[in-house]
Amino acid sequence: MSHYDIAGGMFNPFWKDLPFTNIHDSITPDALHQLYQGVLVHIINWVQKMMSKDELDRRIQCLPPTYGVRHFRNGIASLSQVSGSERKNIGKILLAYIHPKAIKACKALLDFIYLALYGSHDEETLSYMEEALAGWYGNRDHFLEAGVRDHFNIPKFHSLLHYVDSIRKFGTIDNYNTELFERLHIDFAKQGWRASNKRNHFPQMIQWLSRREKILSFESYQSWLQSISVGSTGKERVKACKYQYTIAKFPTEPHKSIARIVISHSAPNFLPCLKLFLNSLLKSPQPKSRALNADLPIKALDVWHQFKLRPDSQVDGEVIEEVIKAIPFYKKAASTRFDNVVVLHSDSAESTSLQGKSFI
């Protein structure tokens, strides 16, 4: 046996004499393991070497809580078995903390990653990817000058050169990205495991999955029946997206007086708006002027500071759960936070932009 065989080399592959065969085309891009768990990991490690892990964590901890951005209150150095979604959250805030000379290189790579994940492409968007990749090659020497790298001969960085060509040949990378299949591992394995009692778990997981499939089939059947009944009446049904709301079992501030709510939430119109809302729930609503002059039978309310909104959709194969917060000034709050929410409740609104509107 030669040393080539021991090392696992194959110098007479089965596909060598096959006609019209290019084995390299079978190796398609993988955004999860090449971009997020590969390229981005290298960039984070290089940034940590440039300024030390403690300094990077200190800067990350200074970031105030922001809607749509995860707040790493303990930094990122202590994270273990970092998932792809955590890498995405780190990528969102990375540019805010790195050295100015490394910003251009890191920005170019992050632009390339986000462009590569587009759900549709044309020659214009592919040219954006090529420009971003050229920006990386034009500015990456700073990592060599800083001494954190001696070379860039890294296979996952080399794979970036083939992304545009693969998209032209096989379509967008969500067609062959492993992130979707790893997401199914959560739905079909992890959730079933958590629902079991951790003893003789396989039969319990199978039964849990079977019940979920039956529930989904019944919901699909109900939706089909509803569409038939609506179609027979001739009425147009507003197509709306399904949302799942999650809220804590117990309020953050129970039995809080309305006067305190008005002050702490900076909401001077809360009382009249509450009156009009309660009036709208009546079978025979009062006139607006009469409703505003009416006395409320309640003086206090339970107050929750956040709720979770989970749309019935996925982004990059991942179900996104948004956390909406309204945290006023009170003794247990480190800082105040009020998120703005724009709600699309019918198809008559414009969902792609907010032209002529400003929110503070």
The domain spans of the chain are: 3-174, 181-233, 245-338
Q: Please give the order of strands across the beta sheet that includes 337-338.
A: 243-246, 306-311, 322-327, 337-338
- Compute CA distances 247 → 123, 142, 305, whole Å: 45, 47, 9
The pLDDT, as a whole number, for residue 177 is: 81
The whole-number average pLDDT for the span 271-281 is: 91
Residue 227 contacts by C-beta under 8 Å, 6 or more apart in sequence?
A: 237
The pLDDT, as a whole number, for residue 1 is: 41
Q: Are 258 and 300 a contacting pair, CB within 8 Å?
A: yes
105 pLDDT above the threshold of 50: yes
Q: Which residue has the higher pLDDT, 111 or 323?
A: 111
The pLDDT, as a whole number, for residue 163 is: 94
317 pLDDT above the threshold of 70: no
pLDDT tens, position by position, 210-221: 999 999 899 889
The whole-number average pLDDT for the span 33-49 is: 90
pLDDT tens, position by position, 137-181: 999 998 998 888 889 999 999 999 999 999 999 999 888 888 777
Of 84-93, 188-197, 211-220, 323-332, give the lowest mean pLDDT range. 323-332
* pTM for the full predicted model: 0.66
- 156 burial level (CB within 10 Å; 0-12, 13-18, 19+): middle
- Compute CA distances 311 → 210, 212, 232, 245, 301, whole Å: 24, 19, 29, 9, 28
Round the average pLDDT of the chain to a whole number and report it. 82
239 band by pLDDT with thresholds 50, 70 and 90: very low
pLDDT tens, position by position, 240-271: 445 677 889 999 999 999 999 999 888 899 99
CA 57 to chain centre: 22
